[in-house]
């Protein structure tokens, strides 16, 4: 729903834009109020709300609210709830091939939902070496943040993985300056703490928040300058990470290619140091083993 509202922005009247702003400012809960309450909040007439609802493709406000409630349920479903709702009837439905087909379909939806200019703009921003890049994720999605971090730090300097322990967050917020990039991974069963972090990064530090999320959009979207939604629902209790991983790998390739000379120089320096460190570590290990070897010889 959020994506549909944002897509309509250029086609709305000034009054309808006020309603859309009111809905997005307190999404999804603003849409659960009565028409009169929403009209009062947006300072428009009820007829304006009905016109916006029609532009969204609903026959009336009741249908709009039913769709909103259904979306809210989907947003916060746990694997237990999904398993009960999507009980598998036969073994074939839960086969490897069936999951592969569903995951590939979800990945295609992810790709088609993101305009190429938007993706290019995000990659250009992430690749800007004048900006620092901070990455963070949720309970499961932290592994995705770590995956992107480990590649980006070989491509460019000033890349930081924010610890998942919130007591360490102030240090990283203090490091941020205006226009730095904060990449947040947050998928359904969203974490309130991540929203607080993103809010402070955007509002208090002036950072640009890039959000990796699902089609229902994490609440962090209200603090984000760029959003990369992925289709994660494959009809099983467990959401797929195939789409998000594809986006990560596409960003790695795009950012490295946008300034390949700088990327190559950094990787060469990185590998040179790594090889030297490996060699010196091997020597240290061999030297440390010498006394033990002598003792063994003496005993023999």
Q: What is the structure's pLDDT at 172? A: 97
Q: What is the structure's pLDDT at 131? A: 97
**Distance separating alpha carbons of residues 106 and 118, to the nearest angstrom:** 20
SS (H, E, C) 12-74: CCHHHHHHHHHHHHCCCHHHHCCHHHHHHHHCCCHHHHHHHHHHCCCCCHHHHHHHHHHHHHH
> What is the model's pTM?
0.68
The tens place of each residue's pLDDT in the chain, 300 residues long, gives: 777 887 887 889 999 999 988 888 777 778 888 899 999 988 899 999 999 999 999 999 989 988 887 776 666 555 554 455 454 433 445 678 888 998 999 999 899 888 899 999 999 999 999 999 999 999 999 999 999 999 999 999 999 999 999 999 999 999 999 999 999 999 988 888 999 999 999 999 999 999 999 988 888 988 999 999 999 888 877 889 999 999 999 999 999 999 999 999 999 999 999 898 887 766 555 555 655 555 555 554
DSSP characters over 112-176: HHS-HHHHHHHHHHHH-TTS-EEEEE-TTTHHHHHHHHHHHHHHSS-EEE--S-GGGHHHHHHH-
Q: Nearest Cα to 217, choosing from 23, 53, 79?
A: 23
**Residues 56 and 5: beta-carbon distance below 8 Å:** yes
- Quick check: bond before 28 cis, omega within 30? yes
pLDDT tens string 27-82? 777 888 889 999 998 889 999 999 999 999 999 998 998 888 777 666 655 555 44
Q: What is the structure's pLDDT at 249? A: 97
CATH number among 3.30.565.10, 1.10.10.10, 2.60.40.10, 1.10.1740.10, domain 2-75: 1.10.10.10
**Distance separating alpha carbons of residues 228 and 179, to the nearest angstrom:** 19
Q: 1-20 burial, b for 16+ CB within 10 Å, e for fewer?
A: bbeebeeeeeebeebbbbbb
Q: Alpha-carbon Rg of the chain, whole angstroms?
A: 25
Tokens of residue 200, six digits? 């402070």
pLDDT tens string 284-295? 555 556 555 555
**Distance separating alpha carbons of residues 91 and 126, to the nearest angstrom:** 44
Long-range contacts of the stretch 54-62 (C-beta < 8 A, 24+): 55/8, 55/11, 55/12, 55/16, 56/1, 56/4, 56/5, 56/8, 57/4, 61/35
Q: What is the structure's pLDDT at 195? A: 94
Q: What is the structure's pLDDT at 28? A: 76
> Terminal CA-to-CA distance of the chain, rounded, Å?
78
pLDDT tens string 137-150? 999 999 999 999 99
Helix axes 260-299, 242-258, angle to 10 degrees: 110
CATH number among 3.40.50.300, 1.10.150.20, 3.40.50.10490, 3.40.50.720, domain 96-258: 3.40.50.10490
Sign of CA dihedral 267, 118, 146, 224: positive
Helix axes 242-258, 116-127, angle to 10 degrees: 60
């Amino acid at each position: 729903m959020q994506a549909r509202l944002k897509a309509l922005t250029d086609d709305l009247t000034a009054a309808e834009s006020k309603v859309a702003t009111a809905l997005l400012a307190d999404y999804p809960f603003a849409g659960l109020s009565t028409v009169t309450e929403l009209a009062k909040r947006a300072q428009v007439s009820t007829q304006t709300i009905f016109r916006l609802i029609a532009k969204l493709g609903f026959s009336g406000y009741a249908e709009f609210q039913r769709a909103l409630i259904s979306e809210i349920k989907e947003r916060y479903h746990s694997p237990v709830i999904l398993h009960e709702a999507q009980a598998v009837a036969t073994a074939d439905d839960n086969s490897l091939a069936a999951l592969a087909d569903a995951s590939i379909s979800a990945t295609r939806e992810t790709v088609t939902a993101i305009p190429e200019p938007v993706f290019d703009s995000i990659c250009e921003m992430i690749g800007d070496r004048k900006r620092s890049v901070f990455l963070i994720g949720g309970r499961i999605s932290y592994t995705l943040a770590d995956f992107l971090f480990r590649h980006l730090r070989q491509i460019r300097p000033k890349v930081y993985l924010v610890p998942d322990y919130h007591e360490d967050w102030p240090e990283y917020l203090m490091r941020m300056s205006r226009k730095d990039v904060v990449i947040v991974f947050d998928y359904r069963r969203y974490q309130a703490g991540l929203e607080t972090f993103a809010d402070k990064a955007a509002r208090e530090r002036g950072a640009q928040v890039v959000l990796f999320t699902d089609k229902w959009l994490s609440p962090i979207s209200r603090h984000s300058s760029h959003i990369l939604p992925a289709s994660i629902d494959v009809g099983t209790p467990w959401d797929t990470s195939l789409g998000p991983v594809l986006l990560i790998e596409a960003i790695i390739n795009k950012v490295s290619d946008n300034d390949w000379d700088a990327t190559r120089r950094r990787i060469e320096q990185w590998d040179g140091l790594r090889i030297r460190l490996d060699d010196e570590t091997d020597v240290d290990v061999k030297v440390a083993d010498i006394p033990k070897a002598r003792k063994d010889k003496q005993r023999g």
